[in-house]
Amino acid sequence: MREKFMQIKRNSDLIVMIDTPISTRNKSNNSLGNLKEYRTSEGLLECVLDNAFVRISVYSASVIKTHISFDGYWDHNPYSVIQNPSSNELDLKDENGCITLSTANVILEINKAPFRLTFKTVEGKVINADDEAFGTASIGEQITAYKKLQADERFVGLGEKTGPLDRRGSGYQNWNTDHFGYGPESDPLYCSTPFYIGLHSGLSYGIYLDNSHKSHFNFGASNDRFSSFSVDSGDMCYYFIYNNDVAGILNSYAELTGYMPLPPIWSIGYQQCRYSYYPDKQVSRLAETFRDKDIPADVIVLDIHYMEKYKIFTWDGEKFPDPKALINHLKSLGFHVVVMCDPGIKIEDGYEAYQSGMENDVFVKYPDGSNYSGSVWPGLCHFPDFTNEKTRNWWGEQMKSYTDLGVDGFWNDMNEIATWGQMLPELIEFKFEGDKATSRKGRNIYGFQMSRATYEGTKHNLNGLRPFNLTRAGFSGIQRYAAVWTGDNVANDEHMLLGVRLVNSMGLAGIAFAGYDVGGFVGNANEALFARWVQIGAFSPFFRGHSMINSRDSEPWSYGEQVEEISKNYISLRYKLMPYLYSSFYEATHSGLPVARSLAIDYSFDDKIYSEEYQNQYLFGQSILVAPVESNKHLTKVYLPEGDWYDLLTDARYKGNTEIVAECGIEHLPVFVKASAIIPITPQAKTNTQNLGDVLELHVYKGSENNSFVYYEDDGESFAHEAGSFYKRTITYQADEKQLIVSDVEGAYDSKIKHLHICFHGFEDVNDFKINNSIAIAEHHSYRFINPISNFDPIDSEVCDGLKIEQLATVKTKNLGSEIVISW
């Protein structure tokens, strides 16, 4: 939306609105100039400057929006921000050449001459400030906000960006790009989220740049004076977020751009994909092999060869003569089906989607009104304009060709828009909900709105069941509609670790459901690389194996018996951890916290976590620390942050703020658990997420700090939880009181859990336990999270005992109805 600004002039005591476009003003000066006039109304501060107009509004005590227009019209992104601004009267003071706007959490000082912004804490500490000389300025159409670099400032986030965790000294641009086999420093990639977090002096803040044109971020690259963010066109519109910690900033960002919906539980199980599995008999054999080998999996993914000549909404009649029968067979084996969805509609008479699209006039157009055509997999195609509500509804209708067959998972690909030649014309036009714009504004939005159309359409078609929706391209707010994966990665160690950083960085930009192609899409993994990648992928929010055409088979059993056992171990471990993982996804739906959490969230000012040695480490959920390591290493350094830690597999205990050397042979990955943690596990987990058993183990790790964990359960597939059909209990560890409290049940869902086992780690000196003041007999036993690997050496036949916990105390109860208090 572009709305004309009415210039403010003051005449005695009256404010007179003069209908004068800013374009009549002096264009030779590219600075904002000085503040001339201002007014307030309904929570909005409107300012007239020498060379621009500014609107400042408060969204919450932690969020302030600044919108600067040089041309006299207001350019908006209608898709990313869903929160409404506050209409409360602003708390303003005007004195000594400065306007002060205050909220409960932050103070904005507005210097009048020249116009400059400084954000401070309520105690007066500078959080973020304009460069005194440059402020915000334009060069031609491009507008840049220059921010003073603080001496010790770090920058994290910005979503799907390569490079190090700490982005200081680097620069990036946001321009969604199909980047096949991208390198470790490549930029840009597929998905743009122009939101970053700054850290300095014990303070943390976030800035979200709400403009979908190509944008540029400079975090002190090639200069030691400023950081900056620029837009190639449109307005300078950004949201400043301040909170006491990074978790609070992520929550405010999620309130601003939307929380993710709870995904179907099957979508967070293991997914198997290849470009491509065909014909139908091969797909059936694939699913049957998973079941024959007792390797858990929930999803078979069909890449583009299921289609007739790559045309979306079709099936190849020779390779897949009866898709409904195939899907029914897969469902009988406990599998869901995800299908590839590309946006290009082949220009072909008789092709139903093309004919319908033409009749309904849904395609992106040139300025002369003709439909844009570009070549991609099917040949010359038109492309739906997803910035048009009519098109989104049309797309949802087309998706019935899948949902009517029983398909409930959808993979949005090639939606940057990717075309052969990679030169999408900038003059093509998008509806933008009635406010027409070119691809300069629409390109970064396209994948976001395609994902929206897919999600909304299939949600409607599935009649109360949750769809799984995956995308390659997106923009801020994409978390409302889809998971994101990191595109066409490469089968090598460097890419494996890069994928970890990409997912962690997306988590710092609001995308909690993200992942990478395990094993690498481009090229061939060797045995050790695949085994290591599966181990790491088991601790990724999105867990999918995928490989490219004309590459080696890349299923868990394709790399020999040893790798098969390793893969089965870690895929099975993920399924045992499903209650912990699903509860972590539930937490993301109302906190904005990611599932894979960069250590910058909880340990923001610990310098060690930013070092090259340790920047790949992360928390999986709130308490499990994962230390990714290359496939060719047998020993690696691990940094354990503040607090005490346990080795997941052995219970070996370590002090925090410590660097240790950990064994990391190909059989296992270094993983640690935070002291005082509560980890719910289903030890009976078998073939898929609907076969987790009726026993819940609560693994409690002795520590000196109090802690709590919210256990969450529902049917895993419908939206009934939104109407109260869920099962939630808060589990509290009270270190001083020496007790564990499982709260009474919230919600109306009947839990599948019938037996509760409480497993105490580090409590070797405790023998007496009580459950609700009744004596409980503790069983003392060893415990394994993973099984030992068989010895495949034909000469040395000694059996390896593997890694296990030697001493674990477990108490059991079937009394799950009301509050449970376990004391010792």
Q: Which of 568, 681, 683, 566 is nearest to 623 (CA)?
A: 681
Enter the tokens of residue 460: 């409607």
Enter the tokens of residue 98: 């400065």
Residue tagged active-site, from 416, 644, 713, 715: 416
Q: How far apart are CA 81 and CA 532, in angstroms?
A: 39
Say which residues have a Cβ less than 8 Å from residue 6's Cβ, sequence separation at least 6: 17, 18, 19
Q: How far apart are CA 357 and CA 601, in angstroms?
A: 46
Q: How far apart are CA 503 and CA 247, in angstroms?
A: 17
Q: Please report which residue ranges of 268-410 form alpha helices under DSSP H.
A: 280-292, 323-332, 352-360, 389-398, 400-403
Helix (H) or strand (E) segment spanning residue 301: strand 299-302
Residue tagged active-site, from 303, 342, 413, 714: 413
Whether the CB-CB separation of 767 and 817 falls below 8 Å is answered with no
Enter the tokens of residue 714: 């529902």
> Is 416 a residue of the active site?
yes
Q: How far is CA 598 from the centre of its chain?
A: 12
Q: Mapping DSSP to helix (H, G, I), strand (E, B) and coil, where does residue 406 land?
A: coil
> Is 555 a residue of the active site?
no
The 10 Å CB-count burial string (b at 16+, else e) for 58-88 is: bbbebbbbbbbbbbbbbbbbebbbebebbee
Q: At which residue do the structure tokens 């002291």 appear?
A: 675
Enter the tokens of residue 645: 């830690």
Q: At which residue do the structure tokens 């954000």 appear?
A: 119
Say which residues have a Cβ less than 8 Å from residue 746's Cβ, sequence separation at least 6: 726, 727, 728, 729
> Is 667 a residue of the active site?
no
First to last CA, the chain: 63
Say which residues have a Cβ less than 8 Å from residue 37's Cβ, sequence separation at least 6: 8, 9, 10, 15, 47, 48
Enter the tokens of residue 421: 């030649």
Enter the tokens of residue 3: 């709305």
Q: How far apart are CA 820 and CA 769, in angstroms?
A: 13
Q: Mapping DSSP to helix (H, G, I), strand (E, B) and coil, where does residue 119 land?
A: strand
Whether the CB-CB separation of 553 and 520 falls below 8 Å is answered with no
Partner residues linked to 8 by β-bridges: 17
Phi, psi of 156 (to 5 degrees): -135, 165
Residue tagged active-site, from 46, 488, 602, 717: 488
Helix (H) or strand (E) segment spanning residue 662: strand 658-663
The 10 Å CB-count burial string (b at 16+, else e) for 722-756 is: eeeebbbbebbbeeeeeebbbbebebebebebeeb
Q: How far apart are CA 145 and CA 218, in angstroms?
A: 10
Residues with active-site annotation: 413, 416, 488
